Amino acid sequence: MNLLRTKSIEQSMADADEPGRRLKRSLSSWDLMIMGVAVAVGAGIFSVGAKAAANFAGPAVTVSFAVAAVTCALAIMCYAEFATAIPVAGSAYVFTYATMGEVLAWIIGWNLILELFTAAAVIAKYWGIYLSKVFALTGLDVPASVSLGGVEVYWGALLIVAVFTMLLVLGTKLSARVGNVFTLIKVAVVLFVIIVGFTYVKFENYSPFVPASEPAAAGGSADVLKQSFFGFLTGAVPAQYGTLGVFAGAALVFFAFIGFDVVATSAEEVKNPQKTLPRGIFGGLAVVTVLYILVSLALTGMVSYTELAQAKNPTLTTAFEAVGNTDAAKIIAFGSLIGLTTVIMVLLMGLARVVLAMSRDGLLPRSLSKTSDKRSTPVRLQIICGAAVALVAGLTEVDLLEEMINIGTLSAFVMVSLGILVLRKKRPDLKPAFRVPFGKVLPVVSAALCLYLMTNLAVQTWIFFAIWLVIGLVIYFAYGQRHSRLNEKFAEARVAVNGAGADEEVLAKI
């Protein structure tokens, strides 16, 4: 059993062109850039920054966003180099398969499913809740959930997932056009919030910029599970603010950058990927970073971080209410709703593309990778993914697993960053259109930063993550390893080699 067998780049390219399982190249640099903005700029821009400022970083949440942006940028550079060398669907899963072997590729693919599925379900549920808030602001009392047979059903989540699943079935280009319209609207809302917010800024609220570290409020034994994994390993007393608080804030706001890896999953549907992918990915990241930093500056300048900390769930709305502008709440609620809409669409597409790549390779049932002859979209798979997300979002408390999104993404970032070093060593003949600068330095720094941010996540998140990995490995050894197309080719080669009486070492070169 060769668990570290790799799949050649040439074979990945050939599989992507297999009749009945291929995708249509229809996306431009603009589409990709908008896609990156669409999936990153969601309700998080109105809430996650406020939480990080209130509980971890204070006004230095701006630095937290910068650290998260740099970490994301370094990882995205590695994604861009891989994607221009192997422009097929599957993102980090495909890249790991080509460099580090099948079992590690499975783990990364499994983690990407965790990231995309959980994110889509969590955000779909939030969409339904925000929809009820928008109705309330217009004077209509429409509950976010209804009780059916004793079960709370979040009807908004079911609705939005169904709509975008249908759009994605009809075609990637069509859904991208719809997403473009929604994205431009929500960027306009964010700019409006920034401009209005800066009119209330008081510079004394920025002092102290990095608040002094202080012990976190005690909450009993549960604190052990909620403290950072780094603090648990080092035995540090749970604290907030200070320098470590800035990095803890970065780990939290990293959630706001999740999605740029999803853009790489669309590599197989991009026109001229060697040029289009880098432009689209980095253009989107630049826009998002500027928006996040401006929002965080407006937020912490409007009100003191200590005032935000007094709120149970601080958001940007909290800041506007504190300065007496309650009308802004309506704009923010509308912006949050529009923001979440496009995020759900891109996540559903990314989830289907990762599963498509894994099923092409036989690690998941091959029937899932069939695409429509008419529309060149994975109709069956997209509907299955949409139905699963809708059920979990509509019927469970999936929002409790919010941090699982971060750890799934960061683990993929670590593997892709290290995979670049392996790719360059194994295939020096490749000349991707984009290469990460400064040789080995930036990929190593990227992996180290991502790993450090992972350790800033809660202990309970790591426990859930470990359980997820165990479940994934059980599925791999029970099904994926035996049904792998690479395993079949390896077995055929072994028979041929043994039949010819050749040395077993020849197998290692296959």
If you write DSSP's letter for every residue of 262-281 in order, what string do you get?
A: HHHHTGGGBSSHHHHHHHHH
Q: How many CB atoms lie within 10 A of CB 498?
A: 11
Q: Given this model, what pLDDT does residue 271 score?
A: 77
C-beta of residue 302 within 8 angstroms of C-beta of residue 205 = yes
Q: Given this model, what pLDDT does residue 236 score?
A: 67
Compute CA distances 144 → 149, 155, 405, whole Å.
17, 7, 23
Q: How many CB atoms lie within 10 A of CB 164?
A: 26
C-beta of residue 430 within 8 angstroms of C-beta of residue 188 = no
Task: Please tell me the total number of residues recorded for the chain in this structure.
Answer: 510
Q: Given this model, what pLDDT does residue 496 score?
A: 64
Beta bridge partners of 270: 27
Instruction: For residue 378, say if its preceding peptide bond is cis, omega within 30 degrees of 0.
Output: no
C-beta of residue 142 within 8 angstroms of C-beta of residue 135 = yes
C-beta of residue 19 within 8 angstroms of C-beta of residue 498 = no
Q: Is 314 left (phi over 0), alpha (psi -120 to 50) or beta?
A: beta
Residue 411 identity: S
Per-residue pLDDT of the chain (510 residues; tens, 9 = 90+): 566 778 777 777 777 777 776 676 667 777 777 777 777 776 567 667 788 888 888 899 899 988 888 888 888 888 888 877 777 766 778 888 888 888 888 998 898 898 889 888 888 888 888 788 788 877 888 888 888 877 888 898 899 999 889 888 887 666 777 777 888 888 888 888 889 889 999 999 888 888 887 776 654 444 667 777 777 777 766 667 888 888 888 877 876 776 666 776 666 677 777 777 777 778 888 888 888 889 889 988 998 888 888 877 787 777 888 888 877 777 877 777 887 887 888 888 889 888 988 998 889 998 888 887 776 778 889 999 999 999 998 888 776 677 777 788 888 888 888 888 888 888 888 778 788 888 889 999 999 988 888 887 888 889 988 999 999 999 999 998 888 888 777 666 656 656 655 454 544 444
C-alpha to C-alpha distance for 190 and 62, rounded to whole angstroms: 16
In this structure, what token pair is assigned to residue 423? 């790719």
CA Rg value for the chain: 23
Q: Given this model, what pLDDT does residue 219 score?
A: 47
Residue 255 identity: F
Contacts 24+ apart (CB under 8 A), 194-199: 194/291, 194/294, 194/295, 194/298, 196/325, 196/328, 197/295, 197/298, 197/299, 197/301, 197/302, 197/316, 197/319, 197/320, 198/297, 198/298, 198/301
C-alpha to C-alpha distance for 236 and 249, rounded to whole angstroms: 17
Q: What's this model's pTM, rounded to 2 decimal places?
A: 0.79
Q: Given this model, what pLDDT does residue 264 score?
A: 67
